[in-house]
Amino acid sequence: MAGEAQDDCLFCKIVGGKIPATVVRETETTVAFRDINPQAPTHVLVIPKVHHPDAVSLAVAEPAILADVVREAGEVAADEKLDSYRIVFNTGSGAGQTVFHAHAHVLGGRGMQWPPG
């Protein structure tokens, strides 16, 4: 059922404590942890504890939790003292999504180019 933990999902395993992660923030509905392969001095992933395959699916099913994810992204940026930062939701494999459990990348601490690659 939508929202339920998936046995084969890496991020559900992190939520469940079955795979370790460097957690920087946690709320009732979200977990934020450092990306294992950082692309910037700050690279933190904010995920909902519930399983949805991408950010849009989360927005449709549980919009308040998507708002929690985005608010937590801002709290991560504040904790890391970032004036400017990027919040990225890669959606679909062609856009670089590799883990199909909704997550926001919070990237900062270096200059950012536009358009993105």
Q: Is 12 in the site for Zn ion (CB under 5 A)?
A: yes
Pairing of strands 104-108, 23-26: unpaired
Based on the shown chain and the rule CB under 5 A, indicate whether residue 49 belongs to the binding site for Zn ion.
no
57 lines the binding site for ligand 5GP (CB under 6 A): no
51 annotated active-site: no
5: region left, alpha or beta (phi > 0 left; psi from -120 to 50 alpha): beta
Contacted entry of ligand 5GP, Zn ion, none for residue 36, CB cut-off 5 to 8 Å set by kind: ligand 5GP
Distance of CA 14 to the CA centre of its chain: 12
56 SS3 class: helix
In degrees, to the nearest 5, what angle opens at C-alpha 94 toward C-alphas 116 and 113? 5
Residue 76, helix vs strand vs coil: helix
| CB nearer Zn ion, residue 79 or residue 90 | 90
Q: From the list 1, 7, 28, 36, which residue makes contact with ligand 5GP (rule: CB under 6 A)?
A: 36
Catalogue the active-site residues: 103
**Binding stretches for ligand 5GP (CB under 6 A):** 10, 19, 21, 33-37, 45, 90, 96-99
